[in-house]
Homo-oligomer: A and B are copies of this chain.
């Protein structure tokens, strides 16, 4: 999956690994994240496969920045991936629910405390998502406004999902705490 995410971004414009990591931390964190280690190794793999090329910046400073550019083969690979629709539901994995499922013999107050911590964290996450404006998104392609505008509804739809998901999460936590306290 990361492979296609990187190709997707490089299809907008050439970027460095560091830039890809920063942009993902802002724009895809609500549905996919990756550590820098994986991004750098995956970029090298893409280069081996001829889907991207890279070159070291020859600037006046000694900061080593390697800029990756998508190749025609890379664009073809991305297009082919996009033209192959998902035909299954990718199963959810939710650590907190695993813990809840097996919490029947735990101290009830400890469970409620854990839910409250999660509530705070998810509230923070939701605030971060709500903070993402159109401008944040447009920075992905700063020099091609028209193209960015074309992509905007798609970017926004994923963000809408992220926000609604976090809202659901908070509601679920509240309702669960209420139920646990009531039977208390």
Q: Interface range on chain A: under 10, 10 to 19, 20 to 34, or 35 or more?
A: 35 or more
Contacts of A82 in B (CB 8 A): 99, 102-103, 106
Minimum CB–CB distance from A20 to chain B (whole Å) comes to 14
Question: Would A172 and B151 count as touching, CB distance under 8 A?
Answer: no
Contacts of A94 in B (CB 8 A): 31-32, 90, 161
Minimal Cβ-Cβ distance residue in B for A27: B101
Question: Would A90 and B83 count as touching, CB distance under 8 A?
Answer: no
Contacts of A53 in B (CB 8 A): none
Q: A residues within 8 Å of B by Cβ? A: 1, 4-5, 8, 11, 27-33, 78, 82-83, 85-106, 110, 113-114, 117-118, 121-122, 125, 147, 150-155, 157-158, 160-162, 164-165, 168, 171-172, 175-176, 179-180, 183
**Bound CA–CA A90/B29 (angstroms):** 11
Question: Would A89 and B155 count as touching, CB distance under 8 A?
Answer: no
Which residue of the partner chain, among B86, B117, B121, contacts A99 with CB atoms under 8 Å?
A: B86
Contacts of A101 in B (CB 8 A): 8, 27-28, 31, 154-155, 158
A-B pairs with beta carbons under 8 Å apart, 28 shown: A5-B98, A8-B101, A11-B102, A27-B101, A30-B97, A31-B98, A32-B94, A78-B102, A82-B99, A82-B102, A82-B103, A83-B110, A85-B114, A86-B95, A86-B114, A86-B118, A87-B121, A90-B94, A92-B165, A100-B158, A103-B154, A104-B154, A153-B180, A157-B172, A157-B176, A160-B172, A161-B172, A165-B165
